[in-house]
């Protein structure tokens, strides 16, 4: 019997794929699996993100420096990208010169500048800015860093958020995110309010103990944040992170730079990784949460005091 030959088609280094049955999209990368993991194998060459190790990373594309010219935060293309042009870009931002300083004002300022730059390259994109801290949160390098993935095509979940926020605006002539924050204050879910930023626990969150930061000024995208908003967010988020006492967490930004006026309001979600996603979550896309929002808010108030 003659055996038929099967040839695996040649695939690009990275690509965006869409499931023809569900319509879900995913990023396929042939290089992501090659990135080092300090949580499993300590690198004898030392930390690639510390000062003095700049030659171990791709060429710097932006930085924040001190009065002597030394960098405080720096950005460069991700060495192991999840997406590449023309589908988008994948950048890495080193937030601090120190291992123990998870969030800095210099780093937060660079986040804003890199999102602005991404929108300049892809005007209709929705840049995804996120931080993974700890192995349970998906980090592979211990040194504090943040990532920015910009896709040249719409993200289905964010498209759905835009449609729902726009529908709320058309019914109520009000921003759904402003209303969400107002209700949190009246229902005992507010955690802290500064001059420019409020932190609260949403009433119906996908994740347990999620803490949300929103600017009191209705502003569509993080790229539009002013310096005072960055100051308040940095101070508040640093207290929240310290309250976690080294536990793993994720931070991610949502906002719609191209959304209709009144139907978008940038915000930042901080999610402590208290549990892993299991079979039900993977199969359904739904998440099981424990406790009440009011209990989570009280816990955050104690941790941030």
The structure tokens listed for 266 are 């940038």
pLDDT at 59: 97
Nearest to 75 by CA among 127, 152, 148: 148
Q: Which letter does DSSP use for residue 238 in this model?
A: H
Q: pLDDT tens digits, residue range 8-31? A: 566 778 888 887 777 777 888 888
The structure tokens listed for 138 are 């998906």
CA distance 75 to 57: 10
CATH class of 14-151: alpha beta
pLDDT at 294: 92
pLDDT at 37: 82
Query: Are the C-beta atoms of residues 263 and 165 closer than 8 Å to each other?
Result: yes
Residue 281 predicted with pLDDT over 90: no
pLDDT at 249: 96
Q: pLDDT tens digits, residue range 188-206? A: 999 999 999 999 999 888 8
Task: Show me where the domains of the chain are located.
Answer: 14-151, 160-304
Block residue for tokens 């929240």:
240
Task: Name the pLDDT band for 6 (thresholds 50, 70, 90).
Answer: low
pLDDT at 42: 65
14-18, 41-45, 228-232: the lowest-pLDDT one: 41-45
Angle at 82 between CA 76 and CA 86, to 5 degrees: 80
Instruction: From the options 2.10.210.10, 3.30.428.10, 3.30.70.100, 3.20.20.30, give the CATH code of 160-304.
Output: 3.30.428.10
The whole-number average pLDDT for the span 163-173 is 92
Helix (H) or strand (E) holding 182: helix 176-186
Q: Is the pTM of this model over 0.75?
A: yes
Beta-bridge partners for 301: none
Q: pLDDT tens digits, residue range 67-81? A: 999 999 999 999 999
Long-range contacts of 227-233 (CB under 8 A, 24+ apart): 227/109, 228/195, 228/196, 229/196, 229/197, 230/105, 230/108, 230/109, 230/112, 231/105, 231/196, 232/194, 232/195, 232/196, 232/197, 233/108, 233/196, 233/197, 233/268
- Per cent of the chain over pLDDT 90 is 64
Helix (H/G/I), strand (E/B), else coil: 82: coil
Query: Are the C-beta atoms of residues 201 and 191 closer than 8 Å to each other?
Result: yes
Query: Are the C-beta atoms of residues 148 and 253 closer than 8 Å to each other?
Result: no
E-strand ranges in 152-225 read 190-193, 197-200, 211-215
The whole-number average pLDDT for the span 222-230 is 96
Nearest to 184 by CA among 169, 204, 201, 168: 201
Q: pLDDT tens digits, residue range 49-61? A: 999 999 999 999 9
């Amino acid at each position: 019997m003659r055996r038929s030959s099967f040839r695996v088609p040649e695939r690009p280094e990275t690509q965006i794929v869409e499931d023809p049955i569900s319509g879900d999209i995913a990023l396929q990368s042939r290089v992501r699996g090659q990135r080092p993991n300090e949580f499993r194998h300590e690198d004898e060459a030392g930390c690639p993100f510390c000062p003095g190790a700049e030659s171990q990373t791709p060429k710097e594309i932006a930085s924040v420096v001190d009065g002597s010219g030394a960098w405080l935060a720096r950005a460069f293309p991700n060495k192991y990208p999840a997406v590449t042009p023309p589908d988008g870009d994948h950048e890495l931002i080193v937030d601090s010169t120190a291992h123990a300083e998870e969030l800095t004002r210099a780093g937060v300022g660079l986040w804003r500048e890199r999102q602005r730059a991404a929108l300049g390259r892809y005007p209709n994109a929705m840049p995804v800015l996120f931080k993974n801290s700890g192995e349970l949160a998906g980090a592979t390098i211990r040194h504090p860093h943040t990532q920015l993935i910009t896709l040249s095509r719409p993200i289905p979940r964010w498209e759905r958020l835009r449609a729902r926020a726009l529908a709320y605006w058309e019914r109520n002539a009000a921003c759904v995110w402003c209303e969400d924050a107002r209700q949190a204050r009246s229902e005992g879910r507010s955690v802290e309010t500064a001059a420019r930023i409020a932190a609260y626990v949403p009433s119906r969150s996908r994740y347990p103990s999620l803490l949300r930061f929103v600017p009191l000024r209705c502003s569509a995208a993080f790229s539009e944040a002013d310096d005072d908003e960055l100051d308040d967010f940095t101070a508040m988020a640093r207290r929240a992170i310290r309250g976690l006492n080294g536990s793993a967490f994720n931070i991610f930004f949502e906002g719609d730079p191209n959304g209709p006026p009144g139907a978008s309001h940038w915000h930042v979600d901080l999610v402590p990784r208290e549990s892993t996603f299991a079979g039900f979550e993977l199969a359904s896309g739904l998440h099981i949460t424990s406790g009440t929002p009011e209990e989570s808010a009280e816990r955050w108030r104690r941790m941030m005091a």
